[in-house]
Structure formats: C-alpha cells, structure tokens
Amino acid sequence: MTVYSYKCVAAPRKARKGKGFKSAADAFVAAFETAIAEQAAQGWEYLRTDLVPMEAKHGFFSQTTETHQGVMVFRRPAHGAEAAHPSVAPGASPPASSFGVARPEPAPPSLTPDDEPEIPRLGAARID
C-alpha cells in the first residue's frame, strides 16, 4: 500500500489575462491548468478540488460572514513509504499482523445447490 503526502493550494479565483481565449471560461480553465502544471513540475499529482467553508471579516467593525474557498488537493508518494509498507501482490496472502498472530485463511465459498437456503416462492401457498 502506498502512503502519500498531501498538499493543499488555494484554487484560482480569477481568469488569466491574455489574448487567444475565446471566452472567460477558457481563460479560467487556463488558470487552473497553470496551477496544476506548476505543482506537477514539483512532483505533485493533482487529486481533486474541494469547496470548503471559511469565515471572513471584511472590515474592522464588520461581522464575520461565511464564504467558500476552492482548495486544490495534490498528492505524491511519501519518501520511504514503499519500504515501510510493501504492497501485497495480487493473489498472495497478506502478511501476519504486527502482533505476531497469523491471520486465518478464509474458507472458499461453496457453490453447491445443496447448501442453498429455501427461498420463498411467489404464488399460492402450499400445505404439505
């Protein structure tokens, strides 16, 4: 199992300025692409963007208001994580627990018709 480090970055709130954008949406998407590319250059993988509530005060005497801030979440494998937590190959049994107790092998499921429970059927009731 891979262990990851996570990093949060404030999502862009304004569109990029420049020529060549057909619409404001294209300029806004370009701002996101730039933010993702900057983090990818540092080895971070984009995971998701969340909208989180935030309390903000807009003046010294003003009341706090609740706003929402976009947060971009990035991840990358933690240093030395693979050595500390080796992954289990598909089909292999998991390692024994850290307490020294071996895990029991699960019993294979039986697929014989004799083991199936009686299922009530739709229709008129029978008296046997």
Looking at residue 93, its pLDDT comes to 54
Domain count, the chain: 1
78-123: per-residue pLDDT in tens? Answer: 886 554 445 555 555 555 544 455 566 777 766 666 666 666 667 6
Cβ neighbours for 72, distance < 8 A, ≥ 6 positions apart: 8, 9, 10, 11, 32, 35, 36, 39, 46, 48, 49
d(CA 99, CA 88): 18
Q: Is residue 119 part of a domain?
A: no
> Per-residue pLDDT tens for 48-88?
999 999 998 878 888 888 989 999 999 999 886 554 445 55
Domain that holds residue 33: 4-86
Could you tell me if residue 60 is inside a domain?
yes
In a domain, 109, yes or no: no
With respect to residue 110, please indicate whether it lies within any of the assigned structural domains: no
In a domain, 81, yes or no: yes
In a domain, 126, yes or no: no
- Residue 65 within any structural domain of the chain: yes
Q: What are the φ/ψ torsions at residue 65 (nearest 5 degrees)?
A: -125, 150
Top pLDDT among 29 and 111 is at: 29
